[in-house]
């Protein structure tokens, strides 16, 4: 069924107005670009009585340079704006690349960075309304002997094996971004590593956002501005599809030596996975074929593949190796 249910639509023009509406409508659903939300509504899996469209809040739009040489990106900034922005491309090219590979040009023109990082998992069982753990049930239908799970997790495989579908999330975590969240009268600053959460914290959510929270924007610190950066996404098709695996890397070089590095893999667990073993292995080293082979050996260490996603192990290994090779 593709006919949406009836709901009250609110379109506030300020954060204070949005907060007031959310206080009066505890079950309201916040909508930004709407590319994920409208899918939920059309399948009638989600039927909120009220929808709060925050696209008209001007202060949530735009990209500004920060005092530390980084950037502040409003949550309502579209992916096209990020992909084409001169400051983003100069300072954080992998963030621009990650925005550029989301879905299609038509979607990127409407979809926002806030919506991309806050979207729910694309697990087909969950999306089709199966009563799984994430939907307050008592089974993970993607982790049974007959389940189709080629898109699912390699790590943190427990009650839920869904992954975050966000293409920008690995880049933001690799850049050590900080998320600004309005919660009541407080503004929280949440590191990317804490913004995305796994089943052990709350199996019904993929981020720390609670009901009534508003994502204001994202601070990308100047630490990695102008560093050597790499981003690659592997999907079935170049357009539309979600990642089967992705890699995001920022590195500071001292001549031919890797002085500092941050490397994150996407689509292999519920949250973006920082490859700490790879970072420890390559820091202080010069890139050569021997180091590349060592990176391949440790990148996917500890993986627990499901029935149909064993291919993600060599995919992950090669993505990590290619990122390191780019520094040679």
Contact 113, 61 (CB under 8 A): no
pLDDT at position 35:
83
| Every domain of the chain and the residues it spans | 8-55, 58-119+165-223, 227-325
pLDDT of 43 strictly over 70:
yes
Averaged pLDDT of the chain: 96
Q: Give residue 41's pLDDT.
A: 86
What percentage of the chain has pLDDT greater than the value 90? Answer: 92
Mean pLDDT throughout 6-22? 96
pLDDT exceeds 90 at position 40: no
Please give the pLDDT value at position 199: 94
Residue that is written with structure tokens 């309201």 in the block: 28
Q: Does domain 58-119+165-223 have CATH number 2.30.30.40?
A: no
Does this chain's domain 58-119+165-223 share its CATH topology with 227-325? no
Tell me the whole-structure pTM to 2 decimals.
Answer: 0.96
Mean pLDDT of 194-206: 96
State mean pLDDT over 287-301: 98
Sign of CA dihedral 276, 278, 279, 283: positive
The CATH T-level fold of domain 8-55 is 3.30.43
Q: In the prediction, which pLDDT does 45 show?
A: 82
| Model confidence band, residue 2 (pLDDT cutoffs 50, 70, 90) | low
pLDDT higher than 90, residue 294: yes
Q: Token pair of 72, please?
A: 């502040």
Q: Above 90 in pLDDT, residue 149?
A: yes
Percent of the chain with pLDDT over 70: 99
The CATH H-level (homologous superfamily) assignment of domain 227-325 is CO dehydrogenase flavoprotein, C-terminal domain (3.30.390.50)
What is the mean predicted confidence (pLDDT) over 96-119?
A: 97
Segment 238-247 shows an average pLDDT of 93
Whether the predicted pLDDT of 1 surpasses 70 = no
Cβ contact 319:245 at 8 Å: yes
The pLDDT of residue 298:
98
Q: How many CB atoms lie within 10 A of CB 290?
A: 10
Strand residues in the chain grouped as ranges (E): 8-10, 29-31, 50-53, 63-65, 71-74, 178-183, 186-191, 214-220, 228-234, 245-254, 257-266, 273-274
**Structure tokens given for 195:** 């913004």
């Amino acid at each position: 069924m593709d006919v949406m249910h009836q709901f009250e639509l609110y379109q506030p023009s300020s954060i204070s107005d949005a907060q007031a509406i959310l206080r009066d409508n505890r079950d309201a659903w916040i909508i930004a670009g709407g590319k994920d939300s409208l899918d939920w509504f059309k399948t009638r899996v989600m039927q909120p009585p009220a929808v709060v469209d925050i696209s008209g809040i001007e202060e949530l739009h735009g990209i500004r340079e920060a005092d530390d040489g980084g950037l502040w990106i409003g949550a309502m900034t579209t992916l096209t704006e990020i992909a084409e922005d001169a400051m983003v491309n100069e300072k954080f090219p992998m963030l621009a690349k990650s925005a550029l590979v989301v879905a299609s040009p038509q979607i990127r023109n409407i979809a926002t960075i806030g919506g991309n990082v806050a979207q729910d998992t694309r697990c087909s069982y969950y999306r089709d309304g199966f009563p799984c753990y994430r939907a307050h049930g008592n089974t993970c239908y993607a982790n049974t002997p007959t389940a189709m799970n080629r898109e699912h997790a390699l790590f943190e495989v427990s009650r839920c094996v869904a992954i975050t579908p966000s293409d920008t999330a690995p880049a933001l975590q690799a850049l050590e971004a900080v998320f600004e969240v309005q919660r009541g009268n407080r503004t929280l600053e949440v590191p990317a590593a804490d913004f995305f959460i796994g089943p052990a914290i709350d199996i019904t959510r993929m981020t720390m956002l609670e009901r009534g929270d508003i994502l204001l924007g994202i601070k990308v610190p100047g630490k990695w501005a102008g560093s050597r950066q790499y981003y690659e996404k592997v999907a079935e098709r170049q357009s539309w599809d979600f990642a089967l695996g992705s890699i995001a890397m920022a590195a500071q070089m001292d001549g031919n030596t890797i002085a500092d590095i941050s490397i994150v893999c996407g689509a292999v667990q519920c949250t973006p996975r920082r490859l700490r073993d790879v970072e420890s292995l390559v820091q202080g080293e010069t890139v050569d074929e021997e180091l590349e082979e060592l990176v391949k050996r440790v990148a996917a260490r500890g993986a627990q593949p499901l029935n149909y996603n064993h291919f993600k192990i060599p995919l992950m290994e090669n993505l990590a190796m290619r990122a390191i090779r780019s520094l040679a």
